[in-house]
Amino acid sequence: LATKQRLREAGLNLESTPVPIIAFGMADTESAGRMSQALLDAGIYPSLINYPGTPPGGLFRFALSSAHTDEQLALLVEVIDFAFS
């Protein structure tokens, strides 16, 4: 939940649910490609979903767990924040 809060503080509009799932849509395929590449460059392998009803650029979905270290979660926030700026 702290990771979600940090992403909200970085400007992402995330649902306020108590589940360890982070999902956010992309406006277009170009911005989705930039986000995907930034995550891959950092060693984070994103799940980009393009189902009917998702935003035009798709939906990134991350499932967090207790197996993730604080450092890994901080890196996720840093990369997402950087890619959106």
Q: Provide the whole-model pTM.
A: 0.90
Specify whether the CB–CB gap between 54 and 28 falls below 8 A: no
| pLDDT tens-place string over residues 14-30 | 988 889 999 999 999 99
How many other C-beta atoms are found inside a 10 Å radius of the C-beta of residue 77?
Answer: 19
pLDDT at 1: 78
CATH 3.40.50.620 fits 2-84, yes or no: no
Phi, psi of 67 (to 5 degrees): -75, -15
